[in-house]
Amino acid sequence: MLLDVNGIQKILPHRYPFLLVDAIEEMEPKKRIVGIKNVTVNEIYFQGHFPGKPVMPGVLIIESMAQTGGVLLLNEVPDRDKKLIYFVAIDNARFRRPVLPGDQLRLELIVHSCRGTFCKLEGRASVGGELVAEATMMCKMVDMEADASQVAEPAENMR
């Protein structure tokens, strides 16, 4: 393990109950990362999704992938405590099977391209070697103090 949850919290601004990556197993700076999310029955969203039949919401699987990618993108940024990464697009999201309590998500992200403050990542989530979700995500790094209107549509050549 390269980073545990304490190391991740030194890079990402997310905190409980919205920190959705528990460990980083592999990382090639600016290229690739593998993270782990241990899905437990104690997750707060299982109270309502769904009572008696807990299933991890797909949007939170995507968010787990995004946070893992955020560790990769922010890791090399010297003033990362003053930066945020916002989604600007999520394309081709596919969900193959439900993620249940007790599952361990393996989150693999590859940097497809980066231009300026925009990056495009290809993400895959698997459980026990079986693909459960995938998506292409685009994000933009902004100054934490900046107005949210800074987030604009990425250049067409990023798609």
Tokens of 7: 């190391």
Query: Which residue is catalytic, options 49, 58, 86, 122?
Result: 49
Spatial CB neighbours of 67, under 8 Å, sequence gap ≥ 6: 12, 14, 19, 20, 21, 35
The H or E element that residue 5 is part of is: helix 5-9
Identify the three-state secondary structure at position 156: helix
Catalytic residue at 14?
Answer: no
CA 113-68-115 angle, to 5 degrees, is 20
E strands, the chain, are 23-28, 32-38, 83-95, 104-115, 118-127, 130-143
**Which residues are catalytically annotated?**
49
